[in-house]
C-alpha cells in the first residue's frame, strides 16, 4: 500500500481539515481550521444513537397540564412530545428554514383545552414521530410529528406542502435560480422540500439525484407505516462518517484524512455520487502513530475534558456542568494587562468570549449557560463582549439565544441540545467521591489502552521486533477487557504475533495503566502519577 504519510510533521498547514479516527469501539471525527480544533464528534459502536430516527409509536397518556403526551416507541423510556408538535404544520418548517413572524409562532404554540387532544389522539392510537433530542439523565427522548430527512442538497418533509430555499442563501439571483430548479423537479404532492445551504451553486442533475434517493427512503418508511405494527423504528440516521460526508464535506475542505481503509474507500464511493471534485481531498493515513496524535488533535482534545481552560493571555475559564445548567467563570489569572485595569479586563473578556464559543461546540454543551464575565464599568465594553459572543455563534449549527450582560456581569444564553455533552457520554460518575467528580468510563479507558498498545506493537513491528508486553490496569478495567474486549485483544495479538499479559493492580486509579516489556525496566507507556501511586508489579 502506498504511504501518504510517514508520521513526520513536515506537511504544510492546511486551512480546513477533517480527521477521521475509526476503531472497533469508537469512531471520532475532528474538524480543524489552520490546525486548531474547532469541532469534534464521537460515536460508540455499543451505543445506539436515536436522534433523527423515525418511529411508529403508541400514545400512552396525555397530560393536559403539561400540554404534552408520552409515546411508547419500544425503548426503556417513553418519548415526550408537546401538543403543538403532534400535528405536522407547514409553519413549523417555515420557522426552521425560512423564518416566520413572532405572531405566527405564538399562534402555533397555542394551548389546547382539556380533552381536546384526547379527541384527536386517544390513548392507544398510533402516531409517526421523529426524535429531536436524545434521552438525557432521567428524561426520555423528545420527539415531534414534523418529520424531516436530510439529503446532500435537499431536506425532505413528509406531510408538508412547503417548497423553498434555505434563508442562509442570501444571493437573490441564486435563490431565484434554485426556486426555478425546485419547481421543475418531479416532487410528489405529499412531500415538501427545502434546498439546503450546500445546494448553492449545485446543478439540476445533483438535485434530481438527491431527490430520487430521498424518495426511496420515504417509500421504505411509508411501507413500514402501513405494514409494521407499533411500536417500531422506521428510519435511522446514517452513521457518523456518512453524516459528515453528507453535511460537512464541501470544496472548502482541503483534506479529509482517514485511518481506516474500509471507511476511506466507502467515503470516496459516497463522494463519487455527490461531489466528485472533493474526492481528491480524501487521503488514507497509515502511519505508526495514532492519527489524532499525528495531527495534534489528541493534545487539543484534552482541554475538552478539563474543568480549567487556560487562555493565551494568561487568563483562564472554569466550566462547571450541572443537570440544570452550565456555569462558566472567567478569571484574569496571570494576565498582566495593558494600559489600565478596564482595558486589561476587557481584553481577557474578549478572548474568553471567543474561546467559550469554541468550547461550547467541542464539549457539545446545550441547555442553559450562564457566563460570569469579569466586571466592566463601561457599557460600550459590555456591548463589545456581547457582540463578540454573538458573532462567534453565527458559525454554530446549534440554535442559540443570547441575552445582554446583566448589571451583575452575568450573560445568560441557551444552546440547542440534542444529545448529552462529551463529559456526559465519555465519563461515569466517580465511585470514589459519590458523584461529586468524574472519571473516565472503563470503555473510554479500554479504547485508550488499546490505542497505546497498538502504537507500541506497530512501532516494534516497523522495526522488525517481536512484542511481549506486561500491562497493569485497575481491576474494573481488567474485568471490562475480559468480558467485553477479549476478542479484540486476541485479534491484535494474532495480527502482529504479539503476546499480551494483563495484570490487575487495585492501587492504580481506574484511568491509569502501565505498559512494560518483559524486563521491568522497560516502560513503553504510563499515565501514572508517581507522586500519588507507588506501583509494584504483582503476580498475574
**Above 50 in pLDDT, residue 539?**
no
Give the C-alpha separation, 64 to 71, whole Å.
Answer: 15
Q: What is the pLDDT of residue 353?
A: 95
* 225 and 316 fall within a common domain: no
Q: Is residue 167 part of a domain?
A: yes
Q: Residue 302 has what DSSP assignment? A: G
Q: What is the pLDDT of residue 532?
A: 41
Phi-psi region of 341 (alpha: psi -120 to 50; beta: other; left: phi over 0): alpha
* 124 and 228 fall within a common domain: yes
Strands 316-321, 325-331: pairing is antiparallel
* pLDDT tier, 101 (very low <50, low <70, confident <90, very high otherwise): very low
Helix axes 261-274, 240-247, angle to 10 degrees: 30
**Averaged pLDDT for residues 28-52:** 89
**Averaged pLDDT of the chain:** 85
Structural domains in the chain (count): 4
Q: Is residue 286 part of a domain?
A: yes
Q: What is the pLDDT of residue 348?
A: 92
* 377 and 521 fall within a common domain: no
Stretch among 186-190, 361-365, 438-442 having the lowest mean pLDDT: 438-442
Stretch among 195-204, 397-406, 527-536 having the lowest mean pLDDT: 527-536
* 287 and 313 fall within a common domain: no
Q: What is the pLDDT of residue 1?
A: 35
Q: Tell which of 190, 215, 234 closes a domain.
A: 234
Q: What is the pLDDT of residue 459?
A: 86
Residue predicted with more confidence, 366 or 96: 366
* pLDDT tier, 2 (very low <50, low <70, confident <90, very high otherwise): very low
* 107 and 217 fall within a common domain: yes
Cis peptide before 231 (omega within 30 of 0): yes
In three-state form (DSSP H/G/I as H, E/B as E, the rest C), the secondary structure along 303-340 is HHHCCEEECCCCCEEEEEECCCEEEEEEECCCCCCCCC
Q: Are the CB atoms for 74 and 232 separated by under 8 Å?
A: yes
Q: Tell which of 192, 207, 234 closes a domain.
A: 234
Q: Is residue 113 part of a domain?
A: yes
Range of the domain at 40: 16-47+241-299
**Averaged pLDDT for residues 457-477:** 85
3-state DSSP helix/strand/coil percent for the chain, to nearest 5?
Answer: 35, 25, 40
Place of cell 467563570: 329
**Above 50 in pLDDT, residue 104?**
no
Q: What is the pLDDT of residue 368?
A: 94
Q: What is the pLDDT of residue 49?
A: 86
**Above 80 in pLDDT, residue 463?**
no
Q: What is the pLDDT of residues 296-333, one digit of tens each?
A: 999 888 877 788 999 988 889 999 888 788 999 999 88
**Averaged pLDDT for residues 36-43:** 90
Amino acid at each position: 500500500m502506498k504511504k501518504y504519510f510517514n508520521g513526520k510533521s513536515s506537511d504544510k498547514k492546511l486551512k480546513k481539515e477533517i480527521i477521521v479516527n475509526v476503531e472497533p469501539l469508537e469512531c471520532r471525527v475532528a474538524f480543524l481550521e489552520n490546525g486548531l480544533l474547532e469541532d469534534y464528534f464521537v460515536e460508540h459502536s455499543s451505543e445506539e444513537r436515536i436522534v433523527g430516527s423515525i418511529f411508529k409509536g403508541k400514545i400512552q397518556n396525555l397530560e393536559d397540564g403539561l400540554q404534552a403526551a408520552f409515546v411508547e416507541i419500544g425503548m426503556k423510556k417513553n418519548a415526550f412530545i408537546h401538543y403543538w408538535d403532534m400535528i405536522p404544520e407547514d409553519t413549523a418548517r417555515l420557522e426552521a428554514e425560512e423564518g416566520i413572524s413572532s405572531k405566527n409562532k405564538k399562534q402555533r404554540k397555542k394551548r389546547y383545552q382539556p380533552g381536546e387532544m384526547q379527541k384527536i389522539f386517544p390513548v392507544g392510537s398510533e402516531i409517526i414521530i421523529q426524535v429531536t433530542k436524545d434521552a438525557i439523565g432521567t428524561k426520555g427522548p423528545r420527539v415531534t410529528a414534523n418529520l424531516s430527512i436530510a439529503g446532500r442538497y435537499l431536506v425532505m418533509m413528509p406531510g408538508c406542502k412547503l417548497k423553498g430555499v434555505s434563508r442562509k442563501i442570501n444571493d437573490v439571483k441564486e435563490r431565484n435560480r434554485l426556486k426555478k430548479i425546485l419547481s421543475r423537479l418531479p416532487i410528489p404532492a405529499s412531500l415538501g422540500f427545502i434546498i439546503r445551504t450546500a445546494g448553492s451553486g449545485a446543478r439540476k442533475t445533483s438535485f434530481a439525484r438527491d431527490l430520487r434517493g430521498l424518495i426511496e427512503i420515504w417509500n421504505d418508511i411509508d411501507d413500514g407505516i402501513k405494514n409494521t405494527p407499533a411500536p417500531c423504528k422506521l428510519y435511522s440516521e446514517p452513521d457518523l462518517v456518512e453524516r459528515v460526508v453528507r453535511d460537512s464535506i464541501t470544496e472548502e475542505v482541503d483534506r479529509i484524512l482517514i485511518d481506516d481503509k474500509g471507511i476511506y474507500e466507502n467515503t470516496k464511493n459516497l463522494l463519487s455520487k455527490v461531489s466528485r471534485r472533493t474526492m481528491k481531498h480524501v487521503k488514507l493515513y497509515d502511519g505508526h502513530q495514532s492519527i489524532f496524535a499525528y495531527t495534534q488533535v489528541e493534545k487539543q482534545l484534552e482541554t475538552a475534558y478539563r474543568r480549567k481552560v487556560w487562555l493565551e493571555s494568561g487568563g483562564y475559564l472554569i466550566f462547571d456542568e450541572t443537570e440544570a445548567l452550565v456555569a462558566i467563570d472567567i478569571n484574569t489569572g496571570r494576565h498582566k494587562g495593558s494600559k489600565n485595569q478596564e482595558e486589561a479586563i476587557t481584553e481577557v473578556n474578549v478572548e474568553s468570549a471567543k474561546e467559550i464559543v469554541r468550547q461550547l461546540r467541542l464539549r457539545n454543551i446545550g441547555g442553559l449557560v450562564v457566563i460570569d464575565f469579569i466586571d466592566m464599568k463601561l457599557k460600550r465594553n459590555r456591548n463589545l463582549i456581547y457582540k463578540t459572543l454573538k458573532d462567534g455563534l453565527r458559525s454554530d449549527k446549534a440554535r442559540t439565544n443570547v441575552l445582554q450582560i446583566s448589571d451583575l456581569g452575568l450573560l445568560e444564553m441557551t444552546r440547542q441540545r440534542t444529545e448529552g455533552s462529551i463529559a456526559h457520554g465519555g465519563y461515569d460518575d466517580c465511585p470514589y467521591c459519590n458523584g461529586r467528580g468524574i472519571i473516565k468510563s472503563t470503555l473510554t479507558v479500554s479504547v485508550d489502552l488499546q490505542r497505546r498498545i497498538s502504537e507500541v506493537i506497530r512501532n516494534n513491528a516497523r522495526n522488525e521486533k517481536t512484542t511481549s508486553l506486561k500491562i497493569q490496569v485497575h481491576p474494573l478495567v481488567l474485568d471490562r477487557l475480559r468480558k467485553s474486549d477479549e476478542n479484540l485483544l486476541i485479534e491484535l495479538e494474532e495480527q502482529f504475533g504479539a503476546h499480551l499479559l494483563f495484570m490487575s493492580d487495585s492501587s492504580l486509579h481506574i484511568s491509569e495503566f502501565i505498559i512494560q516489556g518483559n524486563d521491568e525496566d522497560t516502560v513503553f507507556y504510563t499515565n501514572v502519577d508517581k507522586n500519588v501511586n507507588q506501583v509494584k508489579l504483582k503476580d498475574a
